[in-house]
Structure formats: C-alpha cells, structure tokens
Amino acid sequence: MHRRSPQRLLSLFLAVTGGIALWAAFPDLGWWPGAFVAVALLWWALREDHAWWNALHGLAFGLTFFLPHVRWAINATEIAPWIAMSCVEALFFALFGALWTWARRAVRATPGGRGLRRGGVVWQAVAFAVVFTAVEQWRSEVPFGGFPWGRLAWAMVDAPVGRAAWLGGTVLVTFAVCLAGVGLAAATRAVVARPRAAASYGRAAAAVAAAAAIVVVPVTLPLPASSEAGTVTDDDGALVRDAGSDLAEDGVLWAGAVQGNVDDPDLGVFAQRPELFGNHLEGTYELAEDFAGELDIVLWPEDSTGVDPRTSAAASAALDAAAVAVDAPILVGTQEYPADGGRYNLSLLWQAGQGATERYAKQRPAPFGEYIPLRPLVRLLSDQVDRVTTDMLPGDEPAVMDVPAGGGGDDVRIATIICFEVAYDEIVRDAVRRGAQVLVVPTNNAAFGWTEESTQQLAMTRMQAITTGRAAVQVSTVGVSGIVAPDGTLVTSTGLFTHDTLAAALPLRHTITPAVAAGYWPGWVAGVVAGLLVVAGVVVRVSARVHRGRASPPGPGRDATRERGALVG
C-alpha cells in the first residue's frame, strides 16, 4: 500500500461524512449547525497538496450531499436523471477541491513564509471561504443558467447568521458559514496537534469564539422585525395571518391564497388538471364566504388552471364568476402555446369582465425539467427526455405586476417569481429594484410527491424575504404554502397534499436593503478574488519549481527532485 493511502482513506471518509452533515442541515431535518460541521470536515478532507486528490475528495463530498438532497428528482423522473443531475452538481465541489489546492499555496506564501505557523490560518480561512463562495456562485449560473439548489445560505434561514442576507445576500451568508466552519476546524486542529499543551486549548477557545461571533453577530443587524406578526381573527371570527402589518410603509395588501390540492397524489397534477382547476375555484369560493369584498387579490399557484383561460370560454367564464364572488382579481398560473412552437409558463392577473390584464412569463425554465438542452445527446442517457414533449421558452420581461388597489388608491406592485426562480437571486433583486413591494412565489410541487422539495423551496422564499425586506407568500398546488414576514419569520404554513386557504395582511414596503442595493457585486468580488488567488497559487508553485530546478545539482539528484515535485503537483 502507498505510504499516503491511510491518510487519503481518512480524507475520503471525512469528505463523505461532511456531505452527510451538510444534507442534514437542510429541510426537512433542518439541523443547520450541520453546515458548519460539514465545512470543517471538508477543510480537513482537502489537506492534500495535490489537486487531483482534492478534486476526488470534493467530488465524494458533493455526491454524498446532492444524492439525498435532490432525491425528489426521482419522483419527477427516474433514477438515471437524478444521478446525472447529482453528478453534475457534485463536479463543482470537485472543481472547488482542485482550485483550493492552488489558492492555498498563494496564502501560504505570505510574508514570513511559514503559513499556518504564523497566523496563516486566518488568511487560509478567508481564502477558503472566498473560493468556496465563488464556486457556489458559478454553480448557480452554469451550465444552462445554473442550479442554485443546495447553496449553504438556504440552510441558514433559522440560524442567526442567516440574517446576514439582509446585508449581503446569499453570497455573504455562505461566506460567513465557511469562515465559521473553518474556525471550528482550526479549533479541533489546535487540540489534536498538541493535546497536552495548555496553549493549544487557548488557541482552540479563540477559534471557537471567533466562529461563534461570526454566527451570532448578524442578530444585531436592523432587520424589519414585527411585533404583530401571527394569526389573528377579524370581526367575524375568520382567521387572518398578519405578516407584519406594523411594518407597512405603503399600506397593506390583503391577499387570499388557495392551495387546491389534487384528489389522488399518486397521479400527479398533470393527470388531474380539470380537478385541479375545480379545486382552486372551490377554494376561491371558500374565501368569498369569509372575505368577499375585503381582499385585494387572490393568489393561485403555478399551472393551476390546466388550460389557458384566454383561449377557453368555459375557463374564462368560471374565473369571471369566481372573481365576482370574491370581489378581487385572481393571479392564476397557466401555459401558453405560441403558434411558432414552444410554450411559456405564465402567471396572469385575471379581472372579472376584463380577462388577463397583466402577464408574466417565467424567465428561467428548469433545464431537463421544463426544456431539454442537447435533446438528441441526452436521449442516449435516458428516454425520460421524451416526457417533455414541448420545450418551455424563457420570458423576457421582469417578474413584476401591478395590482389595482381597492378604494382607488395607487396600484400595488408585486413580484411574481414562479417556482424555481425563487432560487435565482438576480430575478428577485430585479423585481424589488423595479418597485415590487411584496414577493409572491406561485409553485407547483405535485410532481415531487411526499419529499422535502417544497420545504426546501419555502426556506428559499424565507431567505429572499430577509434579503429584500419584503413579506412573501409561497402558494403551491399541493403544498407546502406559507406566509412569511419581512424578516423571514414563517407566520404559517400548510401541509402537503391538503386542500387549504389562507388570508393574509401583507405589509407593503419600499425600503431597499443593502443586499438589494449591492446587486451582483458580492458575487463578482468573490469570483475575481478567487481567480486571483488561484493564479497567485499557480505562480507560487511554478516559481518554487524553477527555484528548485536551479538549486538542484545536475545528475540523478536533480531528477529525483523533479520526481518528488511531481508527486505533490
């Protein structure tokens, strides 16, 4: 056995254990401290000064995390696409392992040249966090528009450090989690390296204190916290969810939300579209019984009509009747099939007697779920691609709509972020910068069965509420739906595969948070700094080899030196 084999097996074990810990940090288990443990274990797993070995350990970490994290993909397709998606996402962790190998060499070449032994652990922690955050950002953008699922920040919505999203968005939260995780690893290293030295425990205590400060300090940020958020009753005894009306800057939007559900969860929504439409109509009439004339809008989920009401006289008449009964416009989800091919995933604002007065088309269709890139090639891997018979087209308009205000006041601008788009920071930020005063996330989770996909999505909705300082509503066909206060507090949520209705008072806000004002800059900065660190690491490595080559005597000794350098390169 190679003399380094035991160490590499240990690193592989740490990587696998770290992936499991990270999975446990996300819903439904939701043990958010697991994310810090995962980062610490990943730090230890990537101890090799060899890019290929670190890439392998990163890949093991990524696979162990993603395979269970996105197991809901099996419900929507089959095993092969689930494995393929997990492998593609895990490759970014492999990329991180390789890039970190090079970036670490740059940090070790600090003045004094002794790296960890002269306080270099602080700079290594910063570099590690920067490179990890940058790779996570890249994973959220490529390929095919990226897949932001599984960002460290999404696991932090109930953690104190999650409040940092108000200041710097998901980029800052991920960066902070990495710093704290490496602090935990440094504390462990100090004790393990010299277990009998009193100074080791002092260094460990300092590292733990620094990590704890990173986690806790964000509670001091001035997020808009409500003292009134919760469930209240109106004068008639009907339940209303107050999402923080005391935080309103521009009044309150009174919204109803309908989770229509399907009659047979095993069949899914697409096989039950007429029933789904009927169930949402029924829920609207239920809201009308308690709140007729009191609501500004009724929210339906993504693809909740099953037919485009603009082309179906029966659907149009049914929506008109429901809108008259509740005396409010209805936000409905449907599909549009243009004459030149393809389809759009739409949210329409339906007003009685006027039809669709506002239209938003989803900007980021899900690759391999709503459209199939490279279809002939992908079909060789799985015939599941043929389940998507018509590719979805991307919309080109921002995710905002203007809702007529009751009493003749100013219109209310809402963000209409369809389903997976809630994971894309730039879509949410753009809507808020264009004046959105509240976030609405219509989604259709029926294809994912009894998995945690919808609760993972609800965590993202809550994090976007923190980032933007806006109240939010996630409304699903089958659950989980929820009402969220501007500081991310979950006011109420529904169960999976249940018929339910919600009425909510949503505070309208126009204040722009620092995270929204910063826009894409945090992501750009992380990417540029990570790139510079990697380039600097390459330069350090090449310079060291050149120096060794000049210092080595000619002959066999020089050849041996080259061989040793190749082993760690």
- Cα 391 from Cα 128, distance rounded (Å): 39
Does one domain contain both 277 and 140? no
* Residue recorded with tokens 């540029």: 528
Does one domain contain both 280 and 234? yes
> Residue 525: is it exposed, middle or buried by C-beta count within 10 angstroms (0-12/13-18/19+)?
middle
Looking at the domain assignment, is residue 306 inside a domain?
A: yes
The residues near 543 (Cβ < 8 Å, ≥ 6 apart) are none
From 343, 378, 349, 386, select the one nearest 362 (Cα to Cα): 343
Looking at the domain assignment, is residue 297 inside a domain?
A: yes
Looking at the domain assignment, is residue 245 inside a domain?
A: yes
- Cα 21 from Cα 515, distance rounded (Å): 28
Does one domain contain both 84 and 202? yes
Active-site position among 48, 89, 302, 453:
302
Q: What is the pLDDT of residue 3?
A: 64
From 47, 199, 190, 57, select the one nearest 108 (Cα to Cα): 47
Active-site position among 48, 294, 362, 452:
362
Does one domain contain both 175 and 115? yes
Q: What is the pLDDT of residue 370?
A: 86
Does one domain contain both 513 and 527? no
Q: What is the pLDDT of residue 191?
A: 79
Looking at the domain assignment, is residue 54 inside a domain?
A: yes
- Cα 517 from Cα 264, distance rounded (Å): 45
87 an active-site residue? no
Coil, strand or helix: which one is 509? Answer: coil
From 468, 471, 470, select the one nearest 513 (Cα to Cα): 468
Q: How far apart are the first and last CA of the chain?
A: 21
Instruction: Compute the half-sphere exposure of residue 70: CA atoms within 13 Å on the CB side of its CA.
Output: 25
The full DSSP string for 446-500 is: GGGTTSSHHHHHHHHHHHHHHHHT--EEEEESSS--EEE-TTS-EEEEPPTT--E
Q: What is the pLDDT of residue 119?
A: 47
From 317, 314, 322, select the one nearest 287 (Cα to Cα): 322
Does one domain contain both 185 and 321? no
Tokens read off for 520:
């894409």
Q: Which helix (H) or strand (E) holds 200?
A: helix 198-216
Q: What is the pLDDT of residue 269?
A: 57
Does one domain contain both 261 and 203? no
Task: Check: CB of residue 124 under 8 Å from CB of residue 104.
Answer: yes
Q: What is the pLDDT of residue 553?
A: 63
* Residue recorded with tokens 């339910």: 500
Active-site position among 419, 421, 452, 453:
419
Cα-based distances in Å from 293 to 236, 267, 550, 568: 14, 36, 85, 72
Give the Cβ contact number of residue 84 at 10 Å: 17
Output phi, psi for 399, to 5 deg: -85, 65
Angle among Cα 263, 345, 512 to the nearest 5 degrees reads 110
Estimate to the nearest angstrom the gap between the alpha carbon of 293 and the chain centroid: 37
Coil, strand or helix: which one is 70? Answer: coil
Q: Which helix (H) or strand (E) holds 346?
A: strand 344-351
Coil, strand or helix: which one is 102? Answer: helix
| Pair type for strands 355-361 and 400-403 | unpaired
* Residue recorded with tokens 């521009």: 250
Looking at the domain assignment, is residue 239 inside a domain?
A: yes
Coil, strand or helix: which one is 243? Answer: coil
DSSP 537: H
Q: What is the pLDDT of residue 265?
A: 66
Looking at the domain assignment, is residue 385 inside a domain?
A: no
Q: Which domain holds residue 29?
A: 5-221+520-567
Q: What is the pLDDT of residue 188?
A: 86
Instruction: Compute the half-sphere exposure of residue 372: CA atoms within 13 Å on the CB side of its CA.
Output: 18
3-state SS of 4-65 is CHHHHHHHHHHHHHHHHHHHHHCCCCCCCHHHHHHHHHHHHHCCCCCHHHHHHHHHHHHHHH
Cα-based distances in Å from 254 to 251, 440, 462: 10, 13, 19
- What strand order describes the sheet that includes 252-259? 230-233, 239-242, 500-507, 252-259, 297-299, 330-336, 344-351, 355-361
Among 484, 501, 518, identify where a domain stops.
Answer: 518
Instruction: Compute the half-sphere exposure of residue 238: CA atoms within 13 Å on the CB side of its CA.
Output: 16
- Cα 436 from Cα 251, distance rounded (Å): 13
Q: What is the pLDDT of residue 122?
A: 87
Give the Cβ contact number of residue 195 at 10 Å: 9
Does one domain contain both 244 and 127? no
Does one domain contain both 512 and 528? no
358 an active-site residue? no
Looking at the domain assignment, is residue 18 inside a domain?
A: yes
Identify the CATH number of the domain in which residue 316 sits.
Answer: 3.60.110.10
Residues belonging to the chain? 569
Looking at the domain assignment, is residue 380 inside a domain?
A: no
Does one domain contain both 350 and 246? yes
* Residue recorded with tokens 């935080």: 247
Angle among Cα 419, 423, 425 to the nearest 5 degrees reads 125
362 an active-site residue? yes
Does one domain contain both 541 and 459? no
Q: Which pLDDT tens digits describe the chain residue by residue (569 residues)?
A: 566 778 889 999 999 999 999 999 999 999 999 999 999 999 999 988 899 999 999 999 999 999 999 999 998 787 888 998 999 999 999 999 999 999 998 887 544 444 334 447 888 999 999 999 999 999 999 999 999 999 999 999 999 999 999 999 999 999 999 999 999 998 888 777 677 676 778 888 888 999 999 999 999 999 999 999 999 887 778 899 999 999 999 999 999 999 999 876 665 556 567 789 999 999 999 999 999 999 999 999 999 998 999 999 999 999 999 999 999 999 999 999 999 999 999 999 999 999 999 999 999 998 888 888 877 777 777 777 777 788 899 999 999 999 997 656 789 999 999 999 999 999 999 999 999 999 999 999 988 989 999 999 999 999 999 999 999 999 999 989 999 999 999 999 999 999 999 999 999 999 999 999 999 999 999 999 999 999 999 998 888 777 777 776 665 554 444 443 333 33
> Residue 227: is it exposed, middle or buried by C-beta count within 10 angstroms (0-12/13-18/19+)?
exposed
The residues near 33 (Cβ < 8 Å, ≥ 6 apart) are 25, 159
Among 478, 501, 518, identify where a domain stops.
Answer: 518
Quote the number of domains for the chain: 2
Q: Which helix (H) or strand (E) holds 180?
A: helix 165-193
Does one domain contain both 48 and 177? yes
Q: Which helix (H) or strand (E) holds 199?
A: helix 198-216
- Cα 404 from Cα 551, distance rounded (Å): 78
